[in-house]
Amino acid sequence: MTTLVLLPGLAADARMWRDQLPALARWRPVVTDVHMRHPTVAEMAAALLVRHPGPLVLCGASMGGIVAMEVARQAPTRVAGLALLGTTAQPETDEMRQVRERAIALFSQGRVADVIEPNAAMAFHPDHAQDADLVGRYLAFVLQAGGEQLVRQNRAIVERPDARPHLARLRCPTLVVCGEDDQLTPAERSREIASLVPHARLVLLPRCGHMLTMEQPQTVNTLLREWLESLPAWA
């Protein structure tokens, strides 16, 4: 039996998928927390494979997409479908490594809100960054994750593997979605993924930033439902 697994982004949990869970209920999705339990992307992927035996359809957002691509590298024959939302296949750049290391130092001191709150707007399109309820929902799960998780997960991202070499070998149906105005993983990263995965479908959402599951939930739901309905895994 095929399992649909939703993989949250860095410091996120099932609340990031709040608007998708009812819409995808017929596929009985499960939200994984392997990013909360293991120190490296490779170990997160390996743990997911152990926890969910059998064929998998993976839908990963941001860091979740990075883990999903690593699952596909480790066990390509078990992945029956791959949806990658607002993510990147590239390794960390030197510039971003320095940014994360500075943030990690502050997280280690317990100064989580000092880092997260002033930068929360960057996760959204300007239209949505002014929505206090939306930004508040985002801040709630990131701040609740806490300093220890933010340190661990950022270190995992800093040391993430380069996923690009194996993408051309993927044979599963792949959907790549990104906000056109994503400031954290710009749209060119999604274009690159779609260019490397054979027959991947690329969709760019206008007036949308990084948190596309929250910013444009209905559009994302429609895309995911149409894609899931097309997969041979459910036949």
Q: Whole-model pTM?
A: 0.97
Which candidate, 155, 166, 149, 152, places its Cα nearest to that of 71? Answer: 166
The verdict on residue 75 lying in a domain is yes
The verdict on residue 213 lying in a domain is yes
CA distances from 61 to 19, 67, 110, 157 (A): 14, 9, 26, 13
The verdict on residue 141 lying in a domain is no
Residue type at 89 in one-letter notation: A
In tens, the pLDDT along 76-132 reads 999 999 999 999 999 999 999 999 999 999 999 999 999 999 999 999 999 999 999
* Contact in structure between 88 and 41 (CB atoms under 8 Å): no
DSSP strands (E only) in the chain: 3-7, 30-31, 56-61, 79-85, 174-179, 201-205
The verdict on residue 120 lying in a domain is no
In tens, the pLDDT along 18-56 reads 999 999 999 999 999 999 999 999 999 999 999 999 999
Number of domains in the chain: 1
* Contact in structure between 220 and 44 (CB atoms under 8 Å): no
CATH of residue 57's domain is 3.40.50.1820
Kindly tell me the burial class for residue 95, based on how many C-beta atoms sit within 10 Å of its own C-beta (0-12, 13-18, 19 or more): exposed
Structure-block tokens of residue 200:
């991947």
Question: Domain residues for 33?
Answer: 3-92+157-234
Q: Phi, psi (5° rounding) for residue 174?
A: -130, 130
